Chain A
Protein backbone atom coordinates (compact mmCIF):
# COMPACT_ATOMS: atom_id res chain seq x y z
CA UNK A 1 0.00 0.00 0.00
CA UNK A 2 1.32 3.43 -0.99
CA UNK A 3 -0.03 6.76 0.21
CA UNK A 4 -0.10 9.57 -2.33
CA UNK A 5 -0.69 13.20 -1.35
CA UNK A 6 -1.64 16.19 -3.46
CA UNK A 7 -1.48 19.68 -1.92
CA UNK A 8 -3.86 22.41 -3.05
CA UNK A 9 -4.76 25.77 -1.54
CA UNK A 10 -7.62 28.21 -1.35
CA UNK A 11 -8.25 31.61 0.24
CA UNK A 12 -11.57 32.18 1.95
CA UNK A 13 -13.54 34.22 4.47
CA UNK A 14 -15.48 32.71 7.36
CA UNK A 15 -16.66 33.27 10.90
CA UNK A 16 -17.36 31.04 13.83
CA UNK A 17 -20.82 31.95 14.99
CA UNK A 18 -23.61 29.84 16.42
CA UNK A 19 -26.88 31.55 15.45
CA UNK A 20 -28.80 29.93 18.30
CA UNK A 21 -26.55 31.66 20.86
CA UNK A 22 -26.45 35.29 21.92
CA UNK A 23 -23.73 37.60 20.56
CA UNK A 24 -22.13 37.59 24.02
CA UNK A 25 -21.99 33.79 24.19
CA UNK A 26 -20.50 33.64 20.70
CA UNK A 27 -17.81 36.11 21.70
CA UNK A 28 -17.11 34.20 24.91
CA UNK A 29 -16.64 30.89 23.06
CA UNK A 30 -15.21 31.98 19.71
CA UNK A 31 -13.50 35.26 20.65
CA UNK A 32 -12.38 37.34 17.69
CA UNK A 33 -13.30 34.48 15.29
CA UNK A 34 -16.94 35.49 15.93
CA UNK A 35 -16.46 38.90 14.22
CA UNK A 36 -19.78 39.37 12.43
CA UNK A 37 -18.08 40.95 9.41
CA UNK A 38 -15.93 37.84 8.81
CA UNK A 39 -12.20 37.30 8.72
CA UNK A 40 -10.19 35.01 6.46
CA UNK A 41 -7.39 32.55 5.87
CA UNK A 42 -5.07 31.01 3.33
CA UNK A 43 -6.05 27.37 3.64
CA UNK A 44 -3.69 24.57 2.59
CA UNK A 45 -5.40 21.31 1.72
CA UNK A 46 -3.56 17.96 1.73
CA UNK A 47 -5.50 15.11 0.14
CA UNK A 48 -3.96 11.67 0.67
CA UNK A 49 -5.20 8.63 -1.24
CA UNK A 50 -3.96 5.05 -0.89
CA UNK A 51 -3.56 2.08 -3.17
CA UNK A 52 -1.19 -0.29 -4.86
CA UNK A 53 0.86 1.12 -7.76
CA UNK A 54 -0.41 -0.10 -11.12
CA UNK A 55 1.93 -2.59 -12.80
CA UNK A 56 1.45 -0.73 -16.08
CA UNK A 57 1.92 2.92 -14.98
CA UNK A 58 3.62 2.65 -11.60
CA UNK A 59 0.99 5.08 -10.32
CA UNK A 60 -1.43 4.66 -7.41
CA UNK A 61 -3.46 7.23 -9.34
CA UNK A 62 -2.44 9.87 -11.88
CA UNK A 63 -1.64 12.79 -9.56
CA UNK A 64 -2.46 15.31 -12.27
CA UNK A 65 -5.94 13.81 -12.52
CA UNK A 66 -6.19 13.94 -8.73
CA UNK A 67 -5.34 17.64 -8.84
CA UNK A 68 -7.95 18.29 -11.55
CA UNK A 69 -10.51 16.38 -9.50
CA UNK A 70 -9.77 18.27 -6.26
CA UNK A 71 -9.89 21.58 -8.11
CA UNK A 72 -13.18 20.87 -9.85
CA UNK A 73 -14.94 19.35 -6.81
CA UNK A 74 -13.47 21.37 -3.93
CA UNK A 75 -11.31 24.36 -4.82
CA UNK A 76 -13.81 25.83 -7.30
CA UNK A 77 -16.37 25.91 -4.49
CA UNK A 78 -14.09 27.26 -1.75
CA UNK A 79 -11.50 29.55 -3.30
CA UNK A 80 -12.19 33.29 -2.85
CA UNK A 81 -15.51 32.42 -1.24
CA UNK A 82 -17.28 33.03 2.01
CA UNK A 83 -17.36 29.55 3.57
CA UNK A 84 -20.47 30.28 5.65
CA UNK A 85 -22.49 31.82 2.80
CA UNK A 86 -21.25 30.50 -0.52
CA UNK A 87 -20.57 26.76 -0.03
CA UNK A 88 -23.42 24.28 -0.52
CA UNK A 89 -21.87 21.45 1.52
CA UNK A 90 -21.26 23.71 4.55
CA UNK A 91 -24.83 25.09 4.69
CA UNK A 92 -26.26 24.77 8.19
CA UNK A 93 -22.95 23.66 9.68
CA UNK A 94 -20.54 25.45 11.96
CA UNK A 95 -17.69 26.61 9.76
CA UNK A 96 -14.79 25.25 11.83
CA UNK A 97 -11.71 23.72 10.21
CA UNK A 98 -12.83 20.37 11.67
CA UNK A 99 -16.21 20.50 9.91
CA UNK A 100 -14.65 21.80 6.72
CA UNK A 101 -12.25 18.82 6.61
CA UNK A 102 -15.18 16.41 7.08
CA UNK A 103 -17.11 18.24 4.35
CA UNK A 104 -14.17 18.03 1.95
CA UNK A 105 -13.77 14.31 2.69
CA UNK A 106 -17.46 13.61 1.99
CA UNK A 107 -17.44 15.55 -1.28
CA UNK A 108 -14.27 13.86 -2.49
CA UNK A 109 -15.28 10.35 -1.48
CA UNK A 110 -18.47 10.58 -3.55
CA UNK A 111 -16.51 11.64 -6.61
CA UNK A 112 -13.37 9.52 -6.61
CA UNK A 113 -13.15 6.87 -9.32
CA UNK A 114 -13.63 3.27 -8.17
CA UNK A 115 -10.43 1.71 -6.90
CA UNK A 116 -9.13 5.02 -5.49
CA UNK A 117 -9.39 5.15 -1.71
CA UNK A 118 -9.23 8.27 0.37
CA UNK A 119 -6.89 8.01 3.36
CA UNK A 120 -6.69 11.48 4.89
CA UNK A 121 -7.84 15.04 4.45
CA UNK A 122 -5.42 17.39 6.21
CA UNK A 123 -6.41 21.03 6.29
CA UNK A 124 -4.25 23.93 7.46
CA UNK A 125 -6.15 27.04 8.51
CA UNK A 126 -2.90 28.83 9.38
CA UNK A 127 0.70 27.58 9.23
CA UNK A 128 0.29 26.71 12.92
CA UNK A 129 -3.22 25.23 13.03
CA UNK A 130 -4.38 22.16 11.14
CA UNK A 131 -6.79 19.26 11.39
CA UNK A 132 -6.71 15.73 9.98
CA UNK A 133 -9.70 13.58 9.12
CA UNK A 134 -9.42 9.91 8.23
CA UNK A 135 -13.12 9.15 7.65
CA UNK A 136 -15.39 7.16 9.91
CA UNK A 137 -14.38 3.65 8.79
CA UNK A 138 -10.79 3.83 9.94
CA UNK A 139 -10.01 1.02 12.34
CA UNK A 140 -12.87 -1.10 11.04
CA UNK A 141 -11.12 -1.94 7.81
Chain B
Protein backbone atom coordinates (compact mmCIF):
# COMPACT_ATOMS: atom_id res chain seq x y z
CA UNK B 1 0.00 0.00 0.00
CA UNK B 2 1.29 3.49 -0.81
CA UNK B 3 1.99 5.93 1.96
CA UNK B 4 0.02 9.17 2.00
CA UNK B 5 0.66 12.38 3.95
CA UNK B 6 -2.27 14.00 5.76
CA UNK B 7 -2.20 17.46 7.32
CA UNK B 8 -4.17 19.33 9.94
CA UNK B 9 -3.78 23.08 10.39
CA UNK B 10 -4.52 24.76 13.71
CA UNK B 11 -3.68 28.16 15.15
CA UNK B 12 -3.01 29.89 18.44
CA UNK B 13 -2.39 33.49 19.45
CA UNK B 14 0.27 34.08 22.07
CA UNK B 15 2.66 36.61 23.61
CA UNK B 16 6.36 35.98 24.07
CA UNK B 17 9.73 37.61 24.52
CA UNK B 18 13.16 36.45 23.34
CA UNK B 19 15.99 36.94 25.79
CA UNK B 20 18.80 35.08 27.46
CA UNK B 21 18.80 35.65 31.25
CA UNK B 22 22.53 34.90 31.36
CA UNK B 23 23.21 37.98 29.22
CA UNK B 24 22.92 41.66 30.13
CA UNK B 25 20.34 43.96 28.53
CA UNK B 26 22.78 45.36 25.99
CA UNK B 27 23.72 41.92 24.71
CA UNK B 28 20.05 40.81 24.60
CA UNK B 29 19.14 43.96 22.67
CA UNK B 30 22.00 43.41 20.28
CA UNK B 31 21.05 39.79 19.52
CA UNK B 32 17.24 39.79 19.84
CA UNK B 33 16.49 43.43 18.97
CA UNK B 34 12.86 44.43 19.39
CA UNK B 35 11.93 40.79 20.18
CA UNK B 36 13.52 41.44 23.58
CA UNK B 37 10.87 44.03 24.60
CA UNK B 38 10.43 43.35 28.36
CA UNK B 39 6.69 44.01 28.01
CA UNK B 40 6.41 41.22 25.42
CA UNK B 41 4.96 41.18 21.91
CA UNK B 42 2.90 38.52 20.17
CA UNK B 43 1.95 36.50 17.14
CA UNK B 44 -0.80 34.56 15.42
CA UNK B 45 0.94 31.21 15.21
CA UNK B 46 -0.18 28.79 12.49
CA UNK B 47 0.58 25.17 13.13
CA UNK B 48 0.68 22.40 10.52
CA UNK B 49 0.80 18.82 11.69
CA UNK B 50 1.81 16.28 9.04
CA UNK B 51 1.26 12.54 9.45
CA UNK B 52 2.48 9.96 6.94
CA UNK B 53 1.06 6.45 6.85
CA UNK B 54 -0.87 3.93 4.79
CA UNK B 55 -4.60 4.44 4.30
CA UNK B 56 -6.56 2.01 6.44
CA UNK B 57 -8.27 -0.57 4.15
CA UNK B 58 -11.53 -0.35 6.10
CA UNK B 59 -11.90 3.44 6.46
CA UNK B 60 -9.67 4.78 3.69
CA UNK B 61 -8.15 7.10 6.30
CA UNK B 62 -4.46 7.45 7.15
CA UNK B 63 -5.63 9.10 10.38
CA UNK B 64 -9.05 10.51 11.26
CA UNK B 65 -8.39 14.25 10.87
CA UNK B 66 -11.15 15.14 13.30
CA UNK B 67 -9.35 13.05 15.91
CA UNK B 68 -6.04 14.68 14.98
CA UNK B 69 -7.65 18.10 15.41
CA UNK B 70 -8.93 17.12 18.85
CA UNK B 71 -5.52 15.76 19.82
CA UNK B 72 -3.75 18.97 18.76
CA UNK B 73 -6.39 21.15 20.44
CA UNK B 74 -6.27 19.23 23.69
CA UNK B 75 -2.49 18.93 24.01
CA UNK B 76 -1.18 22.05 22.24
CA UNK B 77 -3.79 24.74 21.63
CA UNK B 78 -5.31 24.51 25.13
CA UNK B 79 -1.99 25.31 26.77
CA UNK B 80 -0.64 27.84 24.23
CA UNK B 81 -3.64 29.83 22.94
CA UNK B 82 -4.07 33.31 24.42
CA UNK B 83 -1.14 32.64 26.72
CA UNK B 84 2.22 34.18 27.44
CA UNK B 85 4.66 31.50 26.32
CA UNK B 86 7.35 32.69 28.75
CA UNK B 87 5.10 33.01 31.78
CA UNK B 88 2.11 30.70 31.35
CA UNK B 89 3.63 27.44 30.12
CA UNK B 90 6.19 25.26 31.91
CA UNK B 91 8.07 24.51 28.68
CA UNK B 92 9.86 27.84 28.36
CA UNK B 93 10.89 28.52 31.93
CA UNK B 94 14.48 27.70 30.99
CA UNK B 95 14.13 27.69 27.22
CA UNK B 96 13.92 30.71 24.91
CA UNK B 97 10.53 30.56 23.11
CA UNK B 98 11.90 30.98 19.59
CA UNK B 99 9.90 29.39 16.78
CA UNK B 100 12.66 26.74 16.62
CA UNK B 101 12.26 25.78 20.27
CA UNK B 102 8.46 25.96 20.15
CA UNK B 103 8.28 23.57 17.19
CA UNK B 104 10.50 21.02 18.95
CA UNK B 105 8.36 21.25 22.11
CA UNK B 106 5.19 20.71 20.04
CA UNK B 107 6.74 17.75 18.23
CA UNK B 108 7.83 16.08 21.48
CA UNK B 109 4.35 16.48 22.99
CA UNK B 110 2.53 15.11 19.94
CA UNK B 111 5.03 12.33 19.23
CA UNK B 112 4.03 10.74 22.54
CA UNK B 113 0.35 10.87 21.57
CA UNK B 114 0.59 9.50 18.02
CA UNK B 115 1.38 5.86 17.19
CA UNK B 116 4.97 5.38 16.02
CA UNK B 117 3.81 3.75 12.78
CA UNK B 118 3.00 7.27 11.57
CA UNK B 119 5.80 9.64 10.58
CA UNK B 120 5.24 13.02 12.21
CA UNK B 121 6.45 16.42 11.07
CA UNK B 122 5.51 19.83 12.46
CA UNK B 123 5.61 23.14 10.67
CA UNK B 124 5.08 26.32 12.69
CA UNK B 125 4.46 29.75 11.19
CA UNK B 126 5.31 32.62 13.51
CA UNK B 127 4.35 35.10 10.79
CA UNK B 128 3.33 34.56 7.18
CA UNK B 129 6.96 34.95 6.22
CA UNK B 130 8.79 33.24 9.10
CA UNK B 131 8.29 29.55 9.66
CA UNK B 132 10.14 26.51 10.95
CA UNK B 133 9.87 22.76 10.51
CA UNK B 134 10.85 19.80 12.71
CA UNK B 135 12.23 17.22 12.21
CA UNK B 136 14.38 18.86 9.55
A residues in contact (CB < 8 Å) with B: 9, 11-14, 32-33, 35, 37-42, 79-82, 85-86, 126-127
Contacts and interface: CB of A to CB of B under 8 A. Distances in A.
Interface majority SS (helix, strand, loop, mixed), chain A: strand
Contacts of A126: 11, 13, 44
A127 B44 contact: yes
Contacts of B14: 39-40
B84 interface: yes
A67 B128 CA distance: 19
A35 B82 contact: yes
Contact of B42 (A9, A13, A32, A86): A13
Nearest to B18: A80
Interface stretch (B32-40, B60-68, B113-121): B32-40
B43 A41 contact: yes
B41 A82 contact: yes
B87 A13 contact: no
User: Which 5 A-B pairs rank lowest in CB-CB distance, beginning with the nearest?
Assistant: A40-B42, A82-B39, A80-B34, A32-B82, A37-B84
Contacts of B42: 11-14, 38-41
Contact of A13 (B33, B41, B44, B81): B41
Contact of B34 (A9, A35, A79, A127): A79
Given A13-B15, A32-B81, A80-B34, A38 B44 contact: no
